[in-house]
Structure 1
Amino acid sequence: MDKVTRMASERPVVIFSKSFCGLSHTIKTFFSEFGVNSAVHELDEIAMGKEIEQALSRLGSNPTVPAVFIGGEFVGGYNEITTLHLRQELIPMLRRARAIWV
């Protein structure tokens, strides 16, 4: 869990993903289109991917990817991010985390 916490704090937006996951691809593209320079960790391509995935599961990420952290805090996956966006809460959250400036 400590490793996930450290990784989640390395940038304002951190995405845990799998390279073959369609929802992960959508989330990465979504943030990129907002101009966010996210840190992306592909769990199927890194040595501790399985352990990180288990830690994400314990945090409540279900499914485990995509898992998005904003400002070091776990926000959720695809459903949570799209809900925040539809409620017009995502952009202010990204501004507070200094992920975007506009």
Structure 2
Amino acid sequence: MDKIQTLTSENGVVIFSKSTCCLCYAVKILFHELGVEPLIHETDHDPKGREIEKALVNLGCNSPPLPAVYIGGNLIGSTNEVMSLHLSGALIPLLRPYQTLA
């Protein structure tokens, strides 16, 4: 889907989210605590939100597809993948170019 491609190519860190999803909220808080201000696209506020979610599944995001995290234009995955990267110490190096100075 063009919207996914455009958003992820123009922004370093993008989280496709639902405003009512607790897992989405947890990932957003994690990124903020790590000093990253991602572009957050709430699919439930987008008229084409369901199409975006279907496209994310087709691109390889597990079901449920949200949150879907992109870093540097690459699909990282959903909550499980993000948390696994964080626990292994591999997430921060991916985010370092996008961290804001405190």
Question: Is 2:36–2:100's contact at 8 Å kept on the other side of the alignment?
Answer: no
Quote the residue 1:99 is aligned against.
98
Percentage of matched positions with identical amino acids: 49
Q: Which runs of 5+ in 1 are unaligned?
A: none
**Offset, 1:9:** 2.0
Structure holding more helix per residue: 2
CA distance in 2, matches of 1:94, 1:4: 20
Over the aligned positions, Cα root-mean-square deviation in angstroms equals 1.2
After TM superposition, the structure 1 = structure 2 runs for residues 2-81 of structure 1, keeping only pairs within 5 Å, are 2-62=2-62, 63-81=64-82
1:41-82 deviations in Å (ceiling 9; x for gaps): 000011211111110010121221000000011000100001
Partner Cα separation in structure 1 for residue 21 and residue 100 of structure 2: 29
Distance, in Å, in 1 between the alignment partners of 2:30 and 2:92 is 12
Q: Distance in 2 between matches of 1:27 and 1:101?
A: 17
Matches of 2:50 and 2:8 in 1, distance apart? 16
TM-score, length of structure 1 as denominator length: 0.92
TM-score (norm 2): 0.92
Q: Is the 8 Å Cα contact of residues 10 and 39 (structure 1) preserved in structure 2?
A: no
Count of aligned residue pairs for this structure pair: 100
Stretches of 4+ aligned residues off by more than 4 angstroms: none
**CA displacement, residues 16-61 of structure 1 (integer Å, 9 cap, x when unaligned):** 0001100000000110111101000000011211111110010121
Deviation, 1:101, is 5.9
Amino acid at match of 1:100: Q
